[in-house]
Chain A
Amino acid sequence: MTTDRRTLDSALSGSTLTGHDQGAIDYRPVALMPDVRVVKIGGQSILDRGRAALFPVLDELIAARKEGIQVVVLVGGGTRARHIYSIASELEMPVGVMATLGKYIPMQNGRMVQMLLARHGGLYILPDDFEKLPLYLQLGCIPVMSGMPPFGYWEKREAGSRIPPHRTDAGVFLSAEFLGAPRAIFIKDEDGLYTDDPKKDPAAQHIPRITAAELTARDLPDVVVERVVVEYLPRARWCKQLQIVNGLEPGEVLKALRGEDNGTIIDAA
């Protein structure tokens, strides 16, 4: 006869650990670092444009930091990511392999941004360094990291696509949500959300403010942020707004970091 399970008594000891079975715990969530601004610099939209686009964006990040605003910078991939996704798709690589390949380009871009920010306190950090953010931010540093979530081989396949659904926009939103920041800011090369890709359709209209539900209901063929982010936004505890601003327009980044509602705001509800 085999010994019984030796169980630690806890509110979840008999639980199957699924969403609808979590015992009688009174969950009162804590926001870890609500004053932090989590900002993404787009890969294709900013970094692939080189110095002309990136330097003015960095100047505004530095200016914000000098005003005492705590900034954590995450960086996207861009055209090299599209190139490797394209070749790997032809080779029918599983989505988890695609997501692992997708980690490398934002990492390169993050390192580039760190080098440029070094004299202003730019630090390259890894996902595991999140626990040191309080120190870095108190010292006035600007932590820089890849926007790619660490899912890698564990990235799920999405129906009808071989591209990893969680890419650098998702990493920015999930970082803001973990830190308890109310807004995730995306620096791109458009004024925000449009009714279609404004680079392809000149008649596309700018949308200054919209809710996640309205955006989903519009069922646009293309959107400016990753679809999973729009899906997660209504379920977020803390990060209930996405803001998309045009990094090519002087002053827009600084306005957003100061908390203004420029660009497009997507609300959780």
Chain B
Amino acid sequence: MTKLVEGDGRTHIKSPLMRESLQNRGVLAGTDSDHDLQIFPDVTLVGIGGQSIFDRGRDAILPLVEELAECKKDHKLVLAVGGGTRVRHTMSIALDLGLPVGGVAQLVGAMEELNAILLNALMAKHGSMPMQRDHFWDLPLYLSSGITPIAISIPPYHLWEPPPEEGNLPMHGSDFGLFQMAEVLGFKQVIFVKDERGLYDKDPKKHDDARFIPRISLPELRANPPAENILDEALFDAWANSNHLATVRIVNGLERGALTAALRGEDVGTLITREAP
């Protein structure tokens, strides 16, 4: 039976956090454990690059869609897509206008939604549906009926985007948004589909001597980040404090079969592991 507690002018409901300050470190520690409920342990999130895939048009998109249509028969997938060059254009105009960081964060989601509509139009006949922002509790229905949901990548920080640590760009972009969705729902893995084989020590488009990294751990990556990272730093920072996601893989979406192999558990692209080897 729930007990109401009075006597200090406030009415409390009896619970271990009753009357407590939720800023108190001792109180906070009492809520923690090294395990989180894993809600959807058999789902893979596939994040498709905006700049790297969609900005290349049909030659890159159509073969990937065919491959996804095959993959979805054997795997429980959630798809998502980035916004690419239009996001960069939006941001450069918005910054020139002096809009606050929350205003910039609010604007950019529209650009990836365009790509999500295109992807869904191409995938619909194979069974796909755009998923509303956080309608995660519909996922069992989608997945058991063979429908692949296409999720929103950008996280809903919107006007409330915190002030950036440096510079003026929002810290919470699509890579972070996808990671966070997979982490909170306890997905099996995240695979990012880009236009490179995976991670390099520097941008292989600019440097012929860039060295490919087939496997790296999160602590190694954070201690020694590549000069130009293919994924957002906010993703790695959040991952370091997380409980679930053991691996993030990057594969080349321009190479037919790479995604299929990754889903089968084969060692393609770059595998980033949360734990040090």
Which A residues fall within an 8 A CB radius of B?
A: 2-8, 10-13, 15-23, 25-30, 32, 44-45, 48-50, 52-53, 78-80, 82-83, 85-87, 89, 91-97, 100, 127, 130, 149-154, 156-163, 166-167, 170-171, 174-175, 177-178, 180, 189, 197, 199, 221-228, 232, 235-238
CB closest residue in chain A, given B91 = A12
Q: Which of B11, B87, B96 contacts A25 (CB 8 A)?
A: B96
Q: Are A221 and B25 in contact (CB under 8 A)?
A: yes
Q: Are B159 and A153 in contact (CB under 8 A)?
A: no
Contacts of B22 in A (CB 8 A): 82, 85, 163, 167, 226
Q: Which of B103, B155, B164 contacts A235 (CB 8 A)?
A: B164
The stretch of B114-122, B139-147, B176-184, B209-217 in contact with A is: B176-184
Which B residues fall within an 8 A CB radius of A?
A: 8-13, 15-26, 28-33, 35-37, 39, 51-52, 55-60, 84-89, 91-93, 95-103, 134, 136, 155-169, 171-173, 177, 180-181, 183-186, 195, 228-229, 232-233, 238, 241-244, 254
Q: Are A237 and B163 in contact (CB under 8 A)?
A: yes
| With A18-B229, A29-B98, A156-B238 as contacts: A83 and B10 at CB distance below 8 Å | no
Q: Are B180 and A153 in contact (CB under 8 A)?
A: yes
10 nearest A-B residue pairs (beta carbon): A96-B184, A82-B17, A161-B28, A19-B166, A19-B167, A154-B155, A235-B163, A12-B88, A10-B92, A86-B15
| With A8-B88, A25-B95, A177-B163 as contacts: A222 and B100 at CB distance below 8 Å | no
Q: Are B25 and A160 in contact (CB under 8 A)?
A: yes
Q: A48 CB to closest chain B CB, in angstroms?
A: 4
Instruction: Give Cα A147 to B139, complex, Å.
Output: 29
Q: B150 CB to closest chain A CB, in angstroms?
A: 17
Q: Are B160 and A160 in contact (CB under 8 A)?
A: no
Q: Are A221 and B160 in contact (CB under 8 A)?
A: no
Instruction: Give Cα A180 to B39, complex, Å.
Output: 39
Q: Are A157 and B160 in contact (CB under 8 A)?
A: no
Q: B33 CB to closest chain A CB, in angstroms?
A: 6
Instruction: Give Cα A4 to B232, complex, Å.
Output: 23
Q: Which of A4, A226, A237 contacts B23 (CB 8 A)?
A: A226
Contacts of A8 in B (CB 8 A): 85-86, 88-89
Q: Which of B33, B98, B158 contacts A92 (CB 8 A)?
A: B33
Q: Are B184 and A97 in contact (CB under 8 A)?
A: yes
Contacts of B101 in A (CB 8 A): 237
Q: Are B28 and A127 in contact (CB under 8 A)?
A: no
Other than the known A18-B169, A85-B31, what 10 A-B pairs have Cβ atoms closer than 8 Å?
A13-B85, A19-B166, A49-B9, A92-B35, A151-B155, A154-B156, A157-B242, A167-B22, A197-B24, A221-B26
CB closest residue in chain B, given A128 = B158
Contacts of B97 in A (CB 8 A): 30
Q: Are B160 and A153 in contact (CB under 8 A)?
A: no
Q: Are A22 and B24 in contact (CB under 8 A)?
A: no
Q: Are B37 and A228 in contact (CB under 8 A)?
A: no
Q: Which of B13, B30, B158 contacts A83 (CB 8 A)?
A: B13
Contacts of B232 in A (CB 8 A): 17-18
Contacts of A20 in B (CB 8 A): 166-167
Q: B178 CB to closest chain A CB, in angstroms?
A: 10
Q: Are A12 and B8 in contact (CB under 8 A)?
A: no
Instruction: Give Cα A89 to B30, complex, Å.
Output: 9
Contacts of A177 in B (CB 8 A): 100, 102, 163
Q: Are A160 and B32 in contact (CB under 8 A)?
A: yes
Q: B167 CB to closest chain A CB, in angstroms?
A: 4
Q: A265 CB to closest chain B CB, in angstroms?
A: 18
Instruction: Give Cα A161 to B24, complex, Å.
Output: 10
Q: Are A174 and B96 in contact (CB under 8 A)?
A: no
Contacts of A97 in B (CB 8 A): 37, 39, 184
Contacts of B155 in A (CB 8 A): 151, 154
Q: A10 CB to closest chain B CB, in angstroms?
A: 4
Q: Which of A78, A93, A232 contacts B162 (CB 8 A)?
A: A232
Q: Are A157 and B25 in contact (CB under 8 A)?
A: no
Q: Which of A49, A85, A221 contacts B10 (CB 8 A)?
A: A49
Q: Are A79 and B11 in contact (CB under 8 A)?
A: yes
Q: Are B100 and A6 in contact (CB under 8 A)?
A: no
Q: A177 CB to closest chain B CB, in angstroms?
A: 6
Contacts of A157 in B (CB 8 A): 183, 238, 241-243
Q: Are A10 and B93 in contact (CB under 8 A)?
A: yes
| With A157-B242, A177-B102, A236-B163 as contacts: A91 and B37 at CB distance below 8 Å | yes
Q: A62 CB to closest chain B CB, in angstroms?
A: 23
6 A-B pairs with C-beta separation under 8 A = A11-B95, A27-B168, A79-B10, A127-B158, A153-B181, A160-B29
Q: Are A86 and B59 in contact (CB under 8 A)?
A: no
Instruction: Give Cα A114 to B9, complex, Å.
Output: 23
Q: Are B184 and A82 in contact (CB under 8 A)?
A: no
Instruction: Give Cα A79 to B20, complex, Å.
Output: 9
Contacts of B8 in A (CB 8 A): 199
Q: B170 CB to closest chain A CB, in angstroms?
A: 9
